[in-house]
Amino acid sequence: MNLPIDRRFLPALLLAALAGEVIGAQSCTVAVGTLAFGAYAGAQVNSSATLTVTCTRAFGDLSTVNYTASLSAGSSGSYAQRRLTRAGLPADTLNYNLYLTTVPATLNTSVWGDGTGGTVVASGSIVPAWFIFTETRTHTVAGAIAAGAVPTAGAYSDSIVATLVYN
């Protein structure tokens, strides 16, 4: 026996089916662009890159993702002063540091690190919306090399690890 379906109630039935608490998996990634200072001639040099947090959720999962993004100290092992190291001989270094959003007026304050020793971390929230399964937030990584002596000419580099902690 087939009963007719009153189409006025169909949307209510669909909403009732979707209204149940569905907790799916959230997956988040962090990516950081290359920060390049260019030529250094003794005057302060600033540069920036973008740190991108991208979260993808499962259908029906509307839980908010809160996150923090930290940056490692690099090869110097210290947030007080990160160092770019010259590739090749003679060995040389060039001091620099990284900051959240903008380079501060006083260098080496509000350094972007892991939240210890006076360093700061980036934080944010991603509040999902229906039918948007991937959302992105960006943060500016600002870098500065202070004015100082000109080091040996050559290519200098450092490797920083970005860590994303989310729930």
pLDDT score of 142: 97
Q: Are 77 and 49 in contact (CB under 8 A)?
A: no
Cα–Cα distance measured from residue 107 to residue 150, given in angstroms and rounded to the nearest whole number: 18
Question: If pLDDT is split at 50, 70 and 90, which confidence band does 25 have?
Answer: low
Number of other CB atoms surrounding residue 12 within 10 Å: 9
Question: Does pTM top 0.85 for this prediction?
Answer: no
pLDDT tens, 43-63? 999 999 999 999 888 877 888
pLDDT score of 59: 78
The domain defined by 23-147+160-166 folds into Immunoglobulin-like (2.60.40)
Residue with the larger pLDDT of the pair 80 and 22: 80
SS3 category, 115: coil
pLDDT tens, 109-122? 999 999 999 999 99
As given in the structure block, the two tokens for residue 111 are: 């350094």
Q: Are 90 and 80 in contact (CB under 8 A)?
A: no
Strands (E), the chain: 26-32, 45-57, 65-71, 82-86, 93-100, 122-126, 134-145, 156-157, 162-166
Domain boundaries, the chain: 23-147+160-166
pLDDT score of 58: 82
